Copies of this chain bind each other. A is one copy, B any other.
Amino acid sequence: MSTRRDAVHDTLRRSEGFRSAQDVYAEMRQHGAKIGLTTVYRALQALADGGQVDVLRTDDGESVYRACASGDHHHHLVCRRCGHTVEVAGPAVERWAEAVGGEHGFTEITHTVEVFGTCASCSASVRAG
């Protein structure tokens, strides 16, 4: 029903890595879109609730969003310099989390796993400095 939500989703899809709400808002305005910050937040939240985008928190507490290729459960390998993100599957980690939880009598196990690093091209440009 909402063109706005789709517009937000599209903007996200065009991005390489995770983007903040403010960021998405700024970009959309720059491209001439008539949309309010409130609506961007609402759209992002709706998309996240519907599982159409992934959310994570930066170190400084900002929520960042990404339209992922895979709808299945997966994790992220994020370049801490340029934000470039690779989706990775980790069956070993899933099993480990379940096992660890089970050992201690925990049920309804969920987990958060994110991997950060410096991607190849960023470490190259740092060396070129």
Contacts and interface: CB of A to CB of B under 8 A. Distances in A.
Contact of A117 (B61, B77, B110, B116): B110
Contacts of A123: 107-108
For A80, A101, A117, A123, the residue with the greatest tally of chain B CB atoms inside 10 Å of its CB is: A117
A96 B113 CA distance: 11
Given A77-B100, A90-B96, A118 B108 contact: yes
Given A57-B61, A112-B114, A113-B111, A100 B105 contact: no
A128 B97 CA distance: 27
Given A111-B113, A112-B114, A113-B111, A104 B92 contact: no
A90 to B, nearest CB: 6
